[in-house]
Amino acid sequence: MEVFLVRHAIAHERNHARWPNDALRPLTAAGKDKFRRAARGLAHCLPKSVVVLSSPYVRARETAAILAAALRRAKVVECSELASHESAAKTFDLLRTRKEKAVVVVGHEPNFSTFLSAALGGAHVRLEIEFKKGGAACIGFMKQIQPGRATLRWMLPPRVLRGL
Confidence of residue 48 (pLDDT cuts 50, 70, 90): confident
62 located within any domain: yes
The residue among 111, 50, 102 whose CA lies nearest residue 76 is 50
> What pLDDT, on the 0 to 100 scale, is given for residue 75?
81
Q: Say what the pTM is.
A: 0.96
Q: Which domain does 121 fall in, by range?
A: 2-12+32-163
Q: Is the pLDDT of residue 73 over 90?
A: no
CATH number at residue 54: 3.40.50.1240
The residue among 142, 58, 164 whose CA lies nearest residue 108 is 58
114 located within any domain: yes
Give pLDDT tens digits for 104-133: 999 999 999 999 999 999 988 899 999 999
Write out the E strands in the chain.
Answer: 2-7, 51-54, 76-78, 102-107, 136-141, 150-156
Q: How many Cα atoms within 13 Å fall on the side-chain side of residue 48?
A: 0
The residue among 52, 23, 7 whose CA lies nearest residue 161 is 7
104 located within any domain: yes
Q: Is the pLDDT of residue 49 over 90?
A: no
Angle at 70 between CA 30 and CA 154, to 5 degrees: 85
Mean pLDDT of the chain: 96
Domain total of the chain: 1
